[in-house]
Amino acid sequence: MIRRRPVLSLLTLAAVVFLLFPIVVVVGVALSRGDVLTFPPSGLSLRWFGEALTYQPFTDSLVTSAVVAAAATVIALAVGVPATYAVHRRSPRGRRLLQTVFLSPLIVPELVLGFALFQLFLVRAGFDALAALIIGHSVLLLPYAVRVTGASLEQADPALEEAAAGLGAGPVRTFFGVTLPVIAPGIVSATILSLLTSFNNVPMSLLLTSRSVQTLPVAMLEYVQTSFTPMIAAVSTLLLLLTIGVALVTERLVGFQRVFGRSAP
Amino acid sequence: MNHVVELRGVGHNFGAGPVLADLDLAVDRGEFLALLGPSGCGKSTTLRVIAGYLRPAEGQVLIGGRDATRVPPQRRNIGMVFQSYALFPHLSVAENVAFGLRMRKVGKLERTRRVGEALELVGLGQLAARKPGQLSGGQQQRVALARAVVIRPDVLLLDEPLSNLDARLRIQLRSELARVQRETGLTAVLVTHDQEEALALADRMAVLRDGRIAQQGSPREVFERPRNRFVAQFLGYENVLALPDRGEVAVRPEHVRIEAADAAADPSAVSFEGVVDELTYRGTHTTATVTVPLPAGPVALRGIALSPGALAPGRAARVVLSEPAIVPLLDEPHRPVLEENPV
């Protein structure tokens, strides 16, 4: 292979190194024993992992992030899946409009959206930051729920639902007994994408957090502005492990291609 | 009244012209009816109206003598086999077949027994635990059939059930379909564009054109005595011509003999002189197309060239129609021939 296409092989190798290098640096720095961010690390230890796991701003914000991601995902799916289903099956003409409306959060810059919600929820309505974060993230995640569900529905044979009706199933039984199981892989994909998107979000979270309620990325951002210890690398490494874990679970559940590739089931 | 299904004056359109136009159709108990026609003739739409997936804009649907026009599909007792089979991918073969029985709240014991019987009927007893994705196309088709039959429907609807199978499997499953219908005694309506399928399976067939029935009758009646140009041409009567004094007639190319103009003529047969357009080698025989000047204008006729060596494009030839093969198209208007001199 290398002998036959040397240029292509070299480019591929360069791309792989380019992609992996920052990860290697982060993991390396995290394993450092010293007090400052240096690469290569000065001595090896797990010291900073221990520090990160007991540093309260991080542990608190981790809980906040998990709560926000889970709640926002549930809301986005609970709104997005039935709405997409209704529009796809009942009125093909409404499909375009729904797509546009529900996908608009992808187009509007998140900072703009975040600022609008900040004005509305925190300033005007006086919501607490956690509620504002959950609602804001739900809006952000809706496009994923709509797009992935829509793609699954489009690929599902419409005759399946007709077959169920013909065999005696009413609309509700048809939805829960046939449609939902058939698009389930798509919904699992949407769930995982939503959880990751919410968990990694910075711009919107930045505007909707308060002193006491912060998501993990915001807490990390704040930390690096004042400190320069390898603890931040340790947190990053832990997040990396979490993401790899999610990816592995996803692979076991529905297959990686289905979630991150364009082809829904 | 013994009609299981009856359509009265059913009309529908999807915006661009009528799909069904004032369609009347009745299916008798235990009958196997085939709806035959080219794509877009309204045959699948007719099936969807019977199943209840489509509520027609006009007309009435009667099932078992009762008006069912507004009854949704889940409250009609109808078994449908879809072209795509539409098996539930997340359920096993047995669960697929049991689905309709569950909806009918049939008890577990009876359900298991009937599912077993239905799978035996289609020869799939040993595959009950498989998922549809693990089956071949032919096996999926049988599961779809078992699932439709097991609920003992008032009528079994078959929407191009064999069109996704290869030629050999199609013939094998065709005879199996006939056997299942015979053994269950179910009333069946088959939609197909394949005349062979209709001829082999149906007790009665209806040829559809533009949302109307162009002709119906026993397969033999329709196939051997088409009444109009459309049905004749759809069923392979390639030669349609106006004979002086006899109006429009149709003849199958296999019943037309093309011979050299100088061959000895049979005075009792109907024959015309013309010019050969082309010869086509077909393996077992050679066909020839000959343009013949008829009073109503020149017509290209196709037939079998008995001695192809004596024919060539541009040369004169004689077209011979054997009398019993000439089918008068009774529905076509008889256009009087104006010219004086007969051919």
For the cut 60, the answer to whether the pLDDT of residue A43 exceeds it is: yes
Residues of B engaging A, defined by a Cβ cutoff of 8 Å: 51-53, 72-76, 78-80, 82-84, 86-90, 99-100, 103-104, 147, 151
A160/chain B closest Cα distance in angstroms: 5
CB contacts of A169 in chain B (<8 Å) are: 74, 99, 103
Residue A173: which of A163, A159, A188 has the closest Cα? Answer: A163
Owner of token pair 């909707």: A208
Task: Kindly report the nearest CA distance between residue B87 and chain A, in angstroms.
Answer: 7
- Chain B nearest CA to A262, separation (Å): 21
- Contact A145/A198 with Cβ under 8 angstroms? no
The per-residue pLDDT for A190 is: 87
Least confident of A24-33, A118-127, B43-52, B121-130: A118-127
Task: Give the mean pLDDT of A88-110.
Answer: 75
Q: Which residue has the tokens 């996704």?
A: B164
Predicted local confidence at residue B343, as pLDDT: 42
pLDDT at residue number B340: 44
Residues of B in contact with A162 (CB under 8 A): 51, 53, 73, 80, 82, 86
Cα–Cα dist B182/A259, whole Å: 48
- Structural domains in chain A, sorted by start: 59-261 (1.10.3720.10)
CB contact under 8 A, A162 and B103: no
The predicted pLDDT at position B335 comes to 59
Q: Chain B residue closest to A185 (CA)? A: B90
Least confident of A119-133, A136-150, A164-178, B289-303: A119-133
pLDDT at A258: 55
Least confident residue range of A16-25, A253-262, B54-63, B215-224: A253-262
Residues in CB range of A220: below 8 A, 6 or more apart: A58, A232, A235, A236
pLDDT at A49: 86
CB-based contact A163 B74, cutoff 8 Å:
no
How sure is the predictor about A264, in pLDDT bands with cuts at 50, 70 and 90? very low
Given A166, A173, A182, which is nearest B78 (Cβ)?
A166
Residue A162 predicted with pLDDT over 90: yes
- pLDDT for A145 equals 85
Contacts of A166 in chain B (CB under 8 A): 51-53, 73-74, 76, 78-80
Cβ of A165 within 8 Å of Cβ of B103? The answer is no
- What pLDDT does residue B117 have? 95
**Whether the Cβ atoms of residue B129 and residue B91 lie closer than 8 Å to each other:** no
Can you tell me the distance from the alpha carbon of A241 to that of A222, in angstroms, rounded to the nearest whole number?
22
Residues of chain B with pLDDT under 50: 338-343
Nearest-CA distance from A178 to chain B in Å? Answer: 7
What whole-number distance in Å separates Cα of residue A136 and Cα of residue A68?
Answer: 10
Sheet holding B66-67, edge to edge: B18-28, B3-13, B58-63, B66-67
Q: How far is B51 from chain A (nearest CA, A)?
A: 7
Chain A residues touching B103 at Cβ < 8 A: 167-169, 173
Partner residue facing B86 (CB), from A163, A173, A181: A163
Give yes or no for residue A158 having a pLDDT over 80: yes
- Are the C-beta atoms of A33 and A42 separated by less than 8 Å? yes
Among B224, B207, B196, smallest CA distance to B329 is for: B224
Q: Is the pLDDT of residue A257 over 60?
A: no
Tell me what pLDDT residue B67 has. 93
Q: What is the DSSP letter of B134?
A: G
User: Binning pLDDT at 50, 70 and 90, where does residue A263 land?
Assistant: very low
* Contact list, A181 vs chain B (CB under 8 Å): 88, 90
Which residues does chain A have within 8 Å of residue B83's beta carbon, measured at their own beta carbons? 159
Which amino acid, A56?
Answer: Q
Say what the pTM is: 0.79
Partner residue facing B74 (CB), from A159, A165, A182: A165
**What pLDDT score does A92 carry?**
66
Question: Which residue from B74, B86, B90 is facing A169, i.e. has the nearest CB?
Answer: B74
Q: Which of B90, B99, B147 sits opposite A182 (nearest CB)?
A: B90
pLDDT confidence of residue B190: 96
- Supply the mean pLDDT for chain A: 84
What percentage of chain A carries pLDDT values higher than 90? 19
Residue in A closest to B84 by C-alpha: A159
At A13, list the tokens: 């190798």
Q: For residues A133 and A68, is the Cβ–Cβ distance under 8 A?
A: yes
Instruction: Give the Cβ contact number of residue B154 at 10 Å.
Output: 18
Give the strands of the sheet with B327-328, arranged side by side: B239-243, B247-251, B327-328
CB contact under 8 A, A157 and B84: yes
Chain B residues within an 8 Å CB radius of A255: none
Alpha carbon distance A9, A7 (integer Å): 5
Mutation test of the interface with chain B: which of A167, A174, A175, A188, choosing the one with the most B Cβ atoms within 10 A?
Answer: A167
- Residue pairs spanning A and B at CB distance below 8 A: 60
If you write DSSP's letter for every residue of chain A in order, what string do you get?
-TTT-HHHHHHHHHHHHHHHHHHHHHHHHHTB-SSS--SS-SSB-SHHHHHHHH-HHHHHHHHHHHHHHHHHHHHHHHHHHHHHHHHHHH-TTHHHHHHHHHHHHHHS-HHHHHHHHIIIIIIIS---HHHHHHHHHHHHHHHHHHHHHHHHHHHS-HHHHHHHHHTT--HHHHIIIIIHHHHHHHHHHHHHHHHHHHHH--HHHHHH--SS---HHHHHHHHHHH--STHHHHHHHHHHHHHHHHHHHHHHHT-HHHHHSS---
The residue of chain A nearest to residue B98, with distances taken between CA atoms, is A167
Chain B residues closer than 8 Å to A92 by CB = none
Contacts of A186 in chain B (CB under 8 A): none
Evaluate if residue A50 carries a pLDDT over 90: no
Most confident of A82-86, A142-146, A253-257, B223-227: B223-227
Please judge whether B103 and A173 are an interchain contact, meaning their C-beta atoms are less than 8 angstroms apart.
yes
Pairing, β B204-209 against β B247-251 = unpaired
> Is B45 within 8 Å of B53 (Cβ atoms)?
no
Whether residue A40 is preceded by a cis peptide bond, meaning omega within 30 degrees of 0, is: yes
